[in-house]
Structure 1
């Protein structure tokens, strides 16, 4: 199994990087699976991590085109390794739809080697506001080409699978649904851990005194709506935003919302310590989730696994995941503000009951153990992997 498209493991923990790390961790003792993982690097070397063969791919500093270069170079390395070592029936799994113009070529080469090409389409990258119109057009074109020239589209949400099947029905794409995962356990940090207490002192927060959001600082995650609506609410709690701010977007939000005039709104920086962030989520009074572009979102799964009260933007991707374990809002003026006021007045037992439902949902459908088992079933039993 060759995986291309993550920045690599270990040590880089975006969504795809965490996925590859957890997958290889759970399969490291399984003799029926052998992983080869591309890693983005300035040097070129091979090393073993979680019993996976990790190979560094050198990428030049060429701006945004780095990602395309990286995927193409990594696939060339995979093809060379498969040929050199005469790997029978290889599966090459590409994460994200960046290299559509090259998809037909690589599918043909991989088929000639007796293998198959799988693609994870991620989310609607072509809808993200951060991209210019030409870049969005490229993402959409690339997605179409990769759907057309893949042997299987592995979608991380039912809604994304439905979109791929409908949007590209003319290609009769072969699809399956396997979600992203989450750690279905509490943080190892105690309530009086010095690391946690120090963070609270620094940020001026305390357990259950804050609403929380964790995520990329981009417009499609609806920071403006969440800030504006929180400011319109009567909540006495704070709103803590754990995110890596972009100065330009931050200034735009300041001009449009005047959040700097409301002491409850607190940009508290990033938290890369996994256990600390998990504990911060556990101690939040409630969690906001405003993502509306993409498939199953890692930060949503992590919130449902840790936070009792979750207030989610009402879109198909989010309802599919949380079901009745969360409360929902839309972007109409006043809707989220009213929900915040309602949340502030909720009975603690009602909140705990929602938390039980949310954690059960994660345990039953989104635990990493469950996801790893689904991937093992796919990689070992998918007939196309041996008949291509």
Structure 2
């Protein structure tokens, strides 16, 4: 098959979840003998024409100049190029800035769209942008030949809202099994004697709720590491709000995967506050790192963790968990989550599920012809 991957800033990954998936999946497809093309921003750090057998197509991306609006131009440039290349399948990762160009998509190619999370629910967006994202989601749901949902909650939403079937394929993670306690020295914490919360600094990730619970517990001075890029307006607000609590440590972004894996592995409680979207990559990575997950109580998190976690819905519940729950008493939860990554969320299975979907789509397309 001749396959294109659109909707990311490119590979190898220097940005986030979809880029990570695009890197793993494109190389997997190339190894299987398929002709694979991945679209990259023109200013992507990787400027070679191929990457482990994957063809790289650099297209002008003025996001650096125009902000978010530049993404629409970048997606337009990618789609216009795709019209010239006679692809069998185009996989679009997300829809926020490319679904408005649905009428320009090559007609002969099978258009498969990963519908991402419910982007219009994110509180960081103003009301007009939320309304636009609803329209963008509707356009993607209606124009895609096949849809992919990365969580059962998103699959159910697409069926209920748009009467569209979708294929459930989760995200993936790599198992972590080589802990190095020495790394903790760099963060001035001790094995099992600190907690963590890691997320983008956005209201719907409930960092505020977790830290309010910590602040309520005046007697418990166990350090909690707050990991995420906080040089934002919301980050400044949180740092100021909790500046008098010495056990709340804002570390900023940590991008060394070995360090992150070890911090998660040796932590006592790992708080996961995400409440919007599908299968969250950082949750899977926490499970794969054998962290003891305390998650925000919502269907997306429960769909992944099931009964193998404690859940919170408000600061008082966070406080109660801090006082009554220990990792050492819940090792079976950790084992079950680790096994779930091995069985259901490993990259080999995820890649294989996507390839199986592609083959099914090609077969159905040839039958229709």
Same fold (TM over 0.5): yes
- Structure 1 counterpart of 2:61: 59
From 313, 317, 324, the equivalent of 1:330 is 313
For 1:104, the equivalent position in structure 2 comes to 103
Q: Distance in 1 between matches of 2:353 and 2:70?
A: 32
The corresponding residue for 2:131 is: 137
Q: Confirm or deny that 1:149 pairs with 2:131.
A: no
The yes-or-no answer on 1:39 pairing with 2:40 is: yes
Deviations 1:219-239 (A, max 9, x none): 110111011011213433211
SS in 2 for 1:66: helix
1:279 is aligned to 262
Q: Is the 8 A contact 2:226 2:251 kept in 1?
A: yes
Correspondence 1:291-306 to 2 at 5 A: 291-306=274-289
- In structure 1, list runs of 5 or more residues that go unmatched: none
Runs of 4+ in 1 over 3 A off after TM superposition: 25-28, 42-46, 384-388
Pair 1:253-2:253 in alignment: no
Give how far 1:46 is off.
6.1
Q: By how many angstroms is 1:26 displaced?
A: 3.2
Distance (Å, rounded) in 2 between the aligned partners of 1:272 and 1:175: 33
Give the alignment's Cα RMSD to 1 decimal.
2.0
For residues 83-232 of structure 1, what are the structure 2 equivalents within 5 Å?
Answer: 87=87, 90-98=88-96, 99-106=98-105, 110-111=106-107, 114-169=108-163, 173-187=164-178, 190-192=180-182, 196-197=183-184, 200-201=185-186, 203-232=187-216
Give the Cα separation in 2 of the matches to 1:22 and 1:235: 42
Q: Check whether the contact 1:308–1:355 (CA below 8 A) recurs between aligned residues.
A: yes
TM-score (norm 1): 0.88
Q: Aligned to 1:182, what secondary structure does the other structure show?
A: coil
* Structure 2 gaps, min length 5: none
Q: Return the offset for 1:353.
A: 1.4
The alpha-carbon deviation at position 254 of structure 1 amounts to 4.4
1:294–1:317: 8 Å Cα contact kept in structure 2? yes
Q: Is contact 1:47-1:53 (8 Å) kept?
A: yes
> Helix, strand or coil: the match of 2:259?
helix
Change (3 A) 1:175 1:230: same
CA offset at residue 45 of structure 1?
6.7
* Counterpart Cα distance in 2 of 1:239 and 1:135: 34
* Structure 2 residue aligned with 1:318: 301
Aligned CA distance change for structure 1 residues 353 and 129 (closer, same or farther; 3 Å)? same
Distance apart, 1:57 and its partner CA: 1.0
Instruction: Give per-residue Cα distances to partners, 1:303-347, cap 9 Å, x unaligned.
Output: 11113411001100000001122111112x411211121114x6x
Aligned length: 360
Q: Write the distance in 2 (CA, Å) between the matches of 1:179 and 1:19.
A: 11
Q: Deviations over 1:33-81 (max 9, x none)?
A: 3321011123897611121111111112222111111112111111212
- Displacement of 1:205: 1.7
1:269 and 2:252 correspond: yes
List aligned pairs for 1:1-20, cutoff 5 A: 1-20=3-22
Structure 2 residue 77 is the aligned partner of structure 1 residue 73: yes
Alignment equivalent of 1:354, drawn from 306, 312, 333: 333
User: How far apart, in 2, do the equivalents of 1:371 and 1:42 lie?
Assistant: 29
Q: Which residue of 1 aligns with 2:228?
A: 243
CA distance in 2, matches of 1:185, 1:40: 31
**1:113-159 C-alpha deviation (Å, 9 max, x unpaired):** x3211111110111111111111111110110111111011110010
Corresponding residue SS for 2:221: coil
Q: Match of 2:359?
A: 380
Q: State the Cα deviation string for residues 272-303 of structure 1 (Å, max 9, x = none).
A: 11222111111111210000010000000001
